[in-house]
Amino acid sequence: MVLCLHDRRTEPGTLFKGQLFYSRPSFPSSMKDYAKIVPCLDVKVVDGQPSVVKGVKFVDLKRQGDPVEFARRYQDQGADELVFLDITASHEGRKTMVDVARRVADAVDIPFAVGGGIGTLDGIKQILDAGADKVGINTAAVKNPDFVKAASGAFGSDKITVAVDARRNTNIIPGVNVYEMEDGAKAWFELVIYGGREPVGVDAIDWCRKMESFGAGELLPTSMDRDGTNIGFDLPLTKAICDAVAIPVIASGGASTPQHILEAFTVAKADSALAAGMFHRGEYTVGQVKDYLESNGIRVRR
């Protein structure tokens, strides 16, 4: 039996972890007929050159190679999409990412998104004009949620991915959505910004619902507890978001094996799974992950 990914949202009025909420209508099934594998490339200027880097929880970054060469490699392996994140988030970095987007667009045919430090409509336009298919917005959305409305209005929801960085908080406060973790402990998911360094006291699940209502076409939640740890996705976080919204969700943060990727689809019900180190280090190819998914009944694109 092959598992399709559409109709994965909780039915309206369903009780989930003690919370009653109403989900929006399902996204068109044609966009969720197969599981998408999305290599992620963190980009930073190193010795004057844009370079793919990888660290743990956004620190201790190590150079991996040229972004365009990685893009070609992953397209050849069968990646469905790519994500490039400018972790310099400086004026120099933004100019570099426009050039990276232009070079990647010339080198590959698969869709790709660019994010990191983009906080103006002109910044979005530059990236899209350079050839990117989507733009990721994170801190700018937290500081000014109406920016997401303006961006989706100007360029279309399909061009706007809202990245959501969150971490578990066991200090329960009134008004948050509380979930049971793998060990039975209770926690809520707090929104954080600046690469996870600054908590903002906002419930990440409610934030995702808000971003959907403001016009985001896709969500990219990353667990700051799992990023770069190689121990697997934060499944409670990803599932909570998938059950709360109707737009596509990309699981992110912590994957290092095909089993972790499988769990993003079978347990968390994500639409896509993002990974970095396991691909960059050559431990697995995208094709090997897709083979594993297919052997476990998940439909993939070939």
Which of the residues are catalytic? 42, 165
Residue 45, phi then psi, degrees to nearest 5: -75, 120
List of long-range contacts for 48-55, beta carbons under 8 Å, 24+ apart: 50/96, 50/97, 50/99, 50/100, 52/280, 53/87, 54/228, 54/276, 54/277, 54/280, 55/228
SS3 240: helix
Spatial distance between the Cα atoms of 96 and 108, rounded to a whole number of angstroms: 18
Residue type, 71: A
52 near 288, Cβ under 8 Å? no
- Structural tokens at position 159: 């061009």
Q: How many CB atoms lie within 10 A of CB 118?
A: 25
Question: Is residue 261 exposed (0-12), middle (13-18) or buried (19+ Cβ within 10 Å)?
Answer: buried
